[in-house]
Homo-oligomer: A and B are copies of this chain.
């Protein structure tokens, strides 16, 4: 039962991890250094990401290659979709214009 992607993304360290994995798979050690947390701390964030289906692991001897699995982000995108047109340029002006037409 993967947790909500929204909740998972609320933590900046986890967003950073995903951003790093966007480039290429990474080892826990690399990620630890990059995000500036302890190794256990990093591992715990990776667990959350794994349980949310946002990363997968590929073991190689004692190492673990973490790779991005972006599918769950589609849920975020879907929620966002109906809002997306709204912040396009000069929306406020358009809205005021439509309000004016409504008055007429």
Chain A residues close to B by CB (< 8 Å): 4, 6-7, 9-10, 12, 15, 18, 22, 68, 70-71, 73-74, 76-77, 79-80, 82-84, 86-87, 91
Contacts and interface: CB of A to CB of B under 8 A. Distances in A.
B79 A15 contact: yes
Given A10-B4, A10-B10, A83 B73 contact: yes
Contact of A6 (B15, B79, B82, B91): B15
Contacts of A83: 18, 22, 70, 73
A62 B15 CA distance: 41
Contacts of A10: 4, 6-7, 9-10
Contacts of A6: 6, 9-10, 12, 15
